[in-house]
Structure 1
Amino acid sequence: MYSKVDRTKLRPWFRYLKLFVTALAKLPVAPRQTVWRGVRKDHSAEYPPGDEVTWWAFSSCTTSLSVLESDLYLGNTGTRTLFSVETINGRTIRAHSHFVTEDEILLLPGTYFQVKSQISPAPDLHIVHLQQKIPPHVLLEPPFEGAELIPFSESDRLSRPRIKEPEELDDSRPWYTKKRILSVIAAVVALIILAIILGSVLGTQKKHTAQTTSTSTPTLTTTFSSIYYNGSAPDPVSVADAFYAFDGTTNDLYSLRNGAVAGGPVSYIQGYVPYGQAIVLNQSNTTQINIQPAFNLTTNSNFTIEGFFMLQKTQLNATLIQLAPNIMLNLVNGVLFASIGLNTSIVGTSVLSTQNWLHISFVYYATKQTATISIDGIVEATNSSVKLGISANNTNSVIIIGAGFQGYIDQLSISLIAKTQDVIQWDATIAAYYRLDFQWTLDSGPNGLNASGVDVNTIFGWRYDALNFNASDASFQANGFTALGTPQQAFSVALWVRAETRSGVFLTVANPYTCLLVLGLQNDGNKIVAYLPNATATGAGVNIVGPQMPINAWTHVAFTWSSTNFAKLYTSALLANVGVDATTLNNVRGGNNSAPMTVTLGNYSGSANCQGIQGVNVSQTFMGSLDEVFVFAREAQQGDLQQIIQTLPS
């Protein structure tokens, strides 16, 4: 359509066009994003997947599909070709256009693309997915010295060791199938394809940008959990053979093995996942939960039992769960004691603490004949070369939960598979994981802490999509971080940051009563800074200042805190600075200060006092882009961070 015309007829107009290109070159480059262009003809035959094409015209595009619904443009009927364009150097001309309400993006002549895929969701509608590439040679000379037609962070990639794009890892798959997503998300994909026909917004995949802030390659110190740092994630804990959220009921999520309370009454309080509840067993009368039918276990059966428990009494003797006769997880004087037969047991070494949520798991792997118990994702004890001691017929037995237990139970999951230790650690210590692509409000971690957003845009990110913050009130907010409200609980946050047009605060952790952490970029020098209010023994705030952040380049930033190593600030998985004075956290005061925390990206408008960050006002909103946000309920290790920045998309 654009590459097969006689351009020699334009020669008399070259000087005029140069003036036009000069003006456009002086406009700031729009963020990397998906834009749309529609034509009332079928051009699909001219764009076979895999071909490389060049558009030589000034191409007007829009960031909103709803604009194309107008009969002035593409409309909703007739033969149409819709181009979904991943662009890296478009120019935003809204401020200079007659159409002041439209986010119009103009592509320059000589824009070079690769055709990624085609779909035809209706007989008269053809959708072509184009991804802009750096051309093999200069197609459009800069109109003046210093003109930046392609952002430096993009063109600079040509001089660096080549990193495969995610789509190159498997060219046999179309662009819309390359994300590893759960089956429930696949249904959403089908809805989105249908929505194209209705003119709704279609989510698109984005390409990986080479990280540019470090010239060294750190040596890996651990690979634990690294398989889940590549954009994939384990199934949520609710994907199980039986799952008990205890949200005011003892029923199984799947209604196959509902529980019945035996003994005294039970009550419910706010749970570890605070949008739901947890069951309270106080043993004023002997109380337990009985479940039938039991599972038909054999000597070859695998299983994983995991959940969150809070003890209200020390040195407790209780049955946390009995899966079958002689197959149970107990507490003996407050220590975990697992039985997998009449004469086979696994005994822990730690007396469980009270008043804190603990993730407890019990895994049996029949193939390896190994049984393991863990606390907060850390192996407490393991036993090898053991077989399940199973009676011939155990389906008539009763699953028992909480006999003699005094405390709270939440998110109890029973799976007839043997989860690996990295999955157990993920379930125990990943408070949330936001991919920020596709359905960007979804939490891909184990707890389902979905977010909300205001005035944010999706653009090409470090891995597929990212969120762009270019308005003063732009924000992304997720509630319910119980672990971060727990006094002196180790925690970490890690994310990709792309500084663009303005420094400012890009992450805040707070509840309505107290502020825990602020991350931002200083006005002077664009240095990364982390601020912890009331973090010393005397109640002073602590600022940890890191290096200067590059403009328009993705850099990985992480902050960790623990009571043993205190505050650490990392960039590109390298330790940038340590806050040795940050010996405490603002949540240590208890009460409302220990309420579940909210993580805010962008503009913070909460009621807590977060003032004190050095070199920038807490109300000054960062304008740039963020991607791949991890929130850990533990101190992330340097090896975790190294895996995050070195693992490419799959």
Structure 2
Amino acid sequence: MHNGTPTGSPSLVFVQGYVGQAISFAANSSQVVTTSYIPLANTSFSVDAWIYPTGLTNILHQSICGICPAKVNDQCLHMTLRHTGSYYSLYFGLYGDDVNSNTAVLANNWEHAAFVFEATTRTLFIYRNGILLATGATSSVLKVTSGSFQIGNLPYLESTFNTFQGYIDELSVSGRVKSACEILEQATLAARFSFDGSSPLVDLGPNTVSSLASNYSLVSGRTLQAISFMGTSSSFFQASGFLALGIANQPFSISLWVQPQLLAGTIMHVSTNSSGTGFCAPFIGFASNGSLIVQLMTNTSYAAISYSSLSLTDFTHIVQTWSSTNGLRLYINNVLVGSIAATTYQTVSSWINYVTLGSCLNGCVSCSAVPGNQVLPGSFAGAIDDFRVYSREVTASDVCTLFAYS
């Protein structure tokens, strides 16, 4: 366990983060969070964090974290945003053995940054939002055997200010190489609820999203257990903190298994208030004729896809995806059954969203009034299993994996 100690001026403050709270740094300050030495010398390791730069102003570096007691080759571990020409990019090095991602990081956006060092091959890897951007070879492993692990500021890296400007959240250090698929899941799996075991409402994803449920039961699912709803307004499941669905034009995917008792009601509802109101939209549900509807709000109206052959006797796998490139897509049991052009995804600029399964709560009327809505509002009676939300458009290959193994 390595507990951090904040120091410097002005005092550090906490703000709404990617998940829960994040720590806020100012570039022209001496702010830093310090822990005891973390033994990363002579070994492989992985470091990752969510970052939100609110400005890009430093002359050379905006430090994310590292161990740098002195500027000595292979003894100054640093992970930063480095000023590279006209932009700032993720940068990773041991000092003298460094790699630059050479890809611009924009201000006022949450980005997942991952830095991996493989000691056997002496290779550095930089990932952004789960995608490998750059690799580089080093002449040595990390040799630094003392000094504090520092977050937000590496005072010995440069004589000028190199404090991070913005927010850092969910920073973790692992004494092993994280695989590419593990980093992709960590960066893009917003939440996963399997509804299994003795704690069926616990998020099994990397973000530990909060959840609650009311008037539900647990029944036999597609695998193990599923959550079952009664078809009343008081029977629902709700998770909060879905930043992945709260960013306009951010690609997303929703995956779940459904076994309805009736072809009616709202299966999934998104809102900025826990009551189901505010900026809100029914994403998945049924039309008045019993057809399954998946939809999203564009700048002016809903774009929707319908499917008319949903089973009442078996669990059906539903995957809804959206990106500006491919628009809205619907997969049923690993088959692409519908696609519609939709170049925009409209939401509210909020870092907190509530996702409700089984009901639209108090938002049934107001949230369904936007032109183009095809979901007939109401409560859902039936079972849902293995519910997942991703902050990316999953591929057809991903859909196949979810269908076969979830």
Q: TM-score range by the shorter chain?
A: 0.7 to 0.9
Task: Give matches, 1:543-622, under 5 Å.
Answer: 543-580=304-341, 582-587=342-347, 590=349, 594-607=350-363, 609-611=367-369, 616-618=375-377, 620-622=378-380
* 2:292 is aligned with 1:528: yes
* 2:363 is aligned with 1:363: no
Instruction: Report the CA distance shift for 1:388/1:478 in structure 2 as closer, same or farther (over 3 A).
Output: same
Partner of 1:637: 395
SS at match of 2:11: coil
Unaligned stretches of 5+ in structure 2?
69-74, 154-162
Moved more, 599-608 or 638-647: 599-608
1:298 to 29, 41, 61: 41
Instruction: Report the CA distance shift for 1:498/1:282 in structure 2 as closer, same or farther (over 3 A).
Output: same
1:472 to 203, 207, 232: 232
SS at match of 2:182: helix
Q: Which runs of 4+ in 1 moved over 3 A?
A: 384-387, 610-616
Give 1:413 deviation, angstroms: 0.8
Task: Report if the CA contact (8 A) 2:98-2:138 is conserved.
Answer: no
Give 1:595 deviation, angstroms: 4.0
* 2:253 is aligned with 1:507: no
Instruction: Report the CA distance shift for 1:282/1:606 in structure 2 as closer, same or farther (over 3 A).
Output: farther
Partner of 1:495: 256
Give 1:417 deviation, angstroms: 1.6
Task: Give matches, 1:194-343, under 5 Å.
Answer: 254=1, 256-273=2-19, 276-292=20-36, 294-299=37-42, 301-314=43-56, 316=58, 317-324=61-68, 325-333=75-83, 334-340=88-94, 342-343=95-96
Give 1:265 deviation, angstroms: 2.0
Greater share of helix: 1
Give 1:432 deviation, angstroms: 0.3
The whole-number CA distance in structure 2 between the counterparts of 1:441 and 1:454 is 11
Task: Report if the CA contact (8 A) 1:547-1:576 is conserved.
Answer: no
Task: Report if the CA contact (8 A) 1:529-1:614 is conserved.
Answer: no
* 2:221 is aligned with 1:456: no
Using structure 2 for the length normalisation, give the TM-score. 0.87
The whole-number CA distance in structure 1 between the counterparts of 2:120 and 2:39 is 18
Give 1:271 deviation, angstroms: 1.2
The whole-number CA distance in structure 2 between the counterparts of 1:499 and 1:433 is 20
In the alignment of these two chains, the number of paired residues is: 376
Partner of 1:399: 149
Task: Report if the CA contact (8 A) 2:45-2:117 is conserved.
Answer: yes
Give 1:462 deviation, angstroms: 0.4
The whole-number CA distance in structure 1 between the counterparts of 2:51 and 2:328 is 28
Task: Report if the CA contact (8 A) 1:310-1:357 is conserved.
Answer: yes
Partner of 1:433: 192
Residues 151-203 of structure 1: per-residue CA shift (max 9 Å, x gap): xxxxxxxxxxxxxxxxxxxxxxxxxxxxxxxxxxxxxxxxxxxxxxxxxxxxx
Partner of 1:39: none
Task: Report if the CA contact (8 A) 1:490-1:561 is conserved.
Answer: yes
Residues 26-70 of structure 1: per-residue CA shift (max 9 Å, x gap): xxxxxxxxxxxxxxxxxxxxxxxxxxxxxxxxxxxxxxxxxxxxx
Task: Report if the CA contact (8 A) 2:89-2:103 is conserved.
Answer: yes
SS at match of 1:609: helix
Task: Report if the CA contact (8 A) 1:511-1:596 is conserved.
Answer: yes
Using structure 1 for the length normalisation, give the TM-score. 0.55
Residues 109-164 of structure 1: per-residue CA shift (max 9 Å, x gap): xxxxxxxxxxxxxxxxxxxxxxxxxxxxxxxxxxxxxxxxxxxxxxxxxxxxxxxx
Task: Report if the CA contact (8 A) 2:288-2:376 is conserved.
Answer: no
The whole-number CA distance in structure 1 between the counterparts of 2:55 and 2:5 is 24
Task: Report if the CA contact (8 A) 2:53-2:166 is conserved.
Answer: yes
Task: Report if the CA contact (8 A) 1:504-1:523 is conserved.
Answer: no
The whole-number CA distance in structure 2 between the counterparts of 1:529 and 1:447 is 28
Give 1:567 deviation, angstroms: 1.2
Give 1:547 deviation, angstroms: 4.0
Partner of 2:72: none
Give 1:445 deviation, angstroms: 0.4
Task: Report if the CA contact (8 A) 2:286-2:376 is conserved.
Answer: no
1:374 to 110, 127, 132: 127
SS at match of 1:425: helix
Give 1:259 deviation, angstroms: 2.4
User: Highest Rg: 1 or 2?
Assistant: 1
Unaligned stretches of 5+ in structure 1?
1-253
Residues 620-644 of structure 1: per-residue CA shift (max 9 Å, x gap): 2221111000110111111111001
Instruction: Report the CA distance shift for 1:616/1:420 in structure 2 as closer, same or farther (over 3 A).
Output: closer
Residues 68-98 of structure 1: per-residue CA shift (max 9 Å, x gap): xxxxxxxxxxxxxxxxxxxxxxxxxxxxxxx
Give 1:552 deviation, angstroms: 1.1
* 2:118 is aligned with 1:354: no
Q: Which has the higher contact order (CA 8 A, sep 6+)?
A: 2
Instruction: Report the CA distance shift for 1:517/1:379 in structure 2 as closer, same or farther (over 3 A).
Output: farther
Identity of aligned residues (%): 26
The whole-number CA distance in structure 2 between the counterparts of 1:444 and 1:567 is 26
The whole-number CA distance in structure 2 between the counterparts of 1:595 and 1:365 is 35
Instruction: Report the CA distance shift for 1:579/1:529 in structure 2 as closer, same or farther (over 3 A).
Output: same
Instruction: Report the CA distance shift for 1:351/1:631 in structure 2 as closer, same or farther (over 3 A).
Output: same
Residues 506-541 of structure 1: per-residue CA shift (max 9 Å, x gap): 1112213212452012342x32211223x14xx122
Task: Report if the CA contact (8 A) 2:254-2:389 is conserved.
Answer: yes
Give 1:569 deviation, angstroms: 1.4
Residues 224-274 of structure 1: per-residue CA shift (max 9 Å, x gap): xxxxxxxxxxxxxxxxxxxxxxxxxxxxxx3x343232343221111111x
SS at match of 2:241: strand
Aligned AA (2:330): L
The whole-number CA distance in structure 2 between the counterparts of 1:369 and 1:517 is 49
Aligned AA (2:287): Q
Task: Report if the CA contact (8 A) 2:190-2:244 is conserved.
Answer: yes
Residues 582-602 of structure 1: per-residue CA shift (max 9 Å, x gap): 222222x63xxx342111110
Aligned AA (2:285): G
SS at match of 1:549: coil
Residues 207-232 of structure 1: per-residue CA shift (max 9 Å, x gap): xxxxxxxxxxxxxxxxxxxxxxxxxx
The whole-number CA distance in structure 1 between the counterparts of 2:373 and 2:110 is 34
Task: Report if the CA contact (8 A) 1:521-1:528 is conserved.
Answer: yes
Task: Report if the CA contact (8 A) 2:282-2:360 is conserved.
Answer: no
The whole-number CA distance in structure 2 between the counterparts of 1:264 and 1:285 is 7
Instruction: Report the CA distance shift for 1:516/1:357 in structure 2 as closer, same or farther (over 3 A).
Output: farther
